[in-house]
Structure 1
């Protein structure tokens, strides 16, 4: 446990709880800590599902603007720092997207800028009815260009441009309509629902899930014929998977 990231593994579900103050800002250290945790979890056979949460009123407020301002004040160092920061953040988001272990974002507060990018990078996202979502770069004289990469893969162009060009905060109902989240739940039931879903996933055969997720992410950018060729090869592996064969064998005995 550190002040940046709390890791808890229970029955195959790894919970990564963001720290770094009440805003859970993505400092460079937190980005690297998250990346290390995701990479290690993907290699750990005991980890079947990853849940990312930012407890309290703020899920994640995006990049640590105070840290950025401090480094940017040095003209000789500022650009190098920003380059390393955003490259490492992109590497983290890619690691989440390509992680063979299913990832779930649990959002019970504000998800803004890179915090929304983190939500969009996960496979599944569940929000409470008090959660809010924002890409506020234009309000600060900038533009949320890198967060838009993950968000653009989750929602349509019109909804994306609404977030980017207005900079306005949108509620959980809007996020559900836009496709940013899978479900919106009362705040007092969010946690139970997320972990019930996570434990259900953790109880399933991990091999085909890992291979299937990897194949699906890979074929999204391919033409239809290539996508079917990739999926067919992977599907054959699903049916030959030892875990599936064992599951089917047990099911036959159960049905007798």
Structure 2
């Protein structure tokens, strides 16, 4: 049994990161959050990685913050450090230049649900469940709210935040929190399929596109078009765009150099 808090496995451009606190439903201790932030920093500069899969070990994906650790410290400075670190983690997912796919089984609650909302794509088991239940313990899920409100509509976000109820994987797909819901035994296979398709593309093009999406999404329409016209021009000047267009015209498979 691997005792590391975070397990990394790289195969054919797909980097799988496994949260490895199964006895605590992979709750986000300070140490686990710091390990994730550090790993995303390494991945950002690793041109061999074209897509990241984030999953949990044991019975569930992630149950949120490690409340035993937080309450055990009992100091305002530690609380602030915890939530600042969590915010840094979520932004490291969003700002990573390549896509991150959440592979969800079991529960994804509170900051665990926040991770799913922060990822670019999500594959869920039909047995998985999601919640932002902080209101039930007097601790409103304010930081999860940031990611959730940017992933689903206002009324669906407020429903989850105000009621704190568990929702099914089917409901999560209906409101846009996850992309695919598959039978529990097929969740890894579906994730591999999605990750493999992304990994087969040009890392350069994917990276340009993801970063442009993040920058343009909150801009007014005219500014978004100015930004993305500039990005398309930048993309056209890359090696892989020239290679891809030539391969399409000549009906052959492109040979990406990821530059």
Fold in common (TM above 0.5) = yes
Q: Tell me the TM-score normalized by structure 2.
A: 0.93
- Rounded to whole Å, the distance in 2 between the matches of 1:195 and 1:21 is 22
Q: Residue 176 of structure 2 aligns with which residue?
A: 179
Aligned residues: 250
- Rounded to whole Å, the distance in 1 between the matches of 2:77 and 2:3 is 27
How far did 1:252 drift?
3.9
How far did 1:2 drift?
4.9
Counterpart contact for 2:22–2:58, Cα < 8 Å: no
* Among candidates 161, 185, 188, match of residue 158 of structure 2: 161
Q: Aligned ranges for residues 61-140 of structure 1 at < 5 Å?
A: 61-72=63-74, 78-140=75-137
After TM superposition, the runs of 4+ consecutive aligned structure 1 residues lying more than 4 A away are: none
Counterpart contact for 2:104–2:123, Cα < 8 Å: yes
The superposition leaves residues 183-234 of structure 1 with CA deviations (integer Å, 9 ceiling, x where unpaired) of: 1000111101101110110110111211111111111111111110000000
How far did 1:243 drift?
1.2
- Rounded to whole Å, the distance in 1 between the matches of 2:147 and 2:33 is 16
Q: Tell me the TM-score normalized by structure 1.
A: 0.94
Q: Residue 235 of structure 1 aligns with which residue?
A: 232
SS at match of 1:58: coil
Q: Residue 13 of structure 1 aligns with which residue?
A: 14
Counterpart contact for 1:17–1:55, Cα < 8 Å: yes
* Among candidates 229, 241, 245, match of residue 242 of structure 2: 245
- Rounded to whole Å, the distance in 2 between the matches of 1:190 and 1:37 is 24
Q: Residue 75 of structure 1 aligns with which residue?
A: none
SS at match of 2:61: strand
Counterpart contact for 1:4–1:18, Cα < 8 Å: yes
Q: Residue 39 of structure 1 aligns with which residue?
A: 41
Asked if residue 147 in structure 1 is aligned to residue 149 in structure 2, the reply is: no
The superposition leaves residues 157-191 of structure 1 with CA deviations (integer Å, 9 ceiling, x where unpaired) of: 11111111111111111101111000100011110
The superposition leaves residues 83-109 of structure 1 with CA deviations (integer Å, 9 ceiling, x where unpaired) of: 111111101101101111111000011
The answer for unaligned runs of 5 or more in structure 1 is 73-77
Deviation larger for 233-242 or 125-134: 233-242
Asked if residue 192 in structure 1 is aligned to residue 189 in structure 2, the reply is: yes
Counterpart contact for 1:113–1:147, Cα < 8 Å: yes
Counterpart contact for 1:56–1:108, Cα < 8 Å: no
Q: Residue 257 of structure 2 aligns with which residue?
A: none
- Rounded to whole Å, the distance in 2 between the matches of 1:131 and 1:102 is 22
- Rounded to whole Å, the distance in 1 between the matches of 2:11 and 2:22 is 25
The superposition leaves residues 109-136 of structure 1 with CA deviations (integer Å, 9 ceiling, x where unpaired) of: 1000000000100000110100000111
RMSD: 1.2
How far did 1:253 drift?
4.0
The answer for unaligned runs of 5 or more in structure 2 is 253-259
Counterpart contact for 1:15–1:50, Cα < 8 Å: yes
Q: Residue 201 of structure 1 aligns with which residue?
A: 198
Counterpart contact for 2:22–2:59, Cα < 8 Å: no
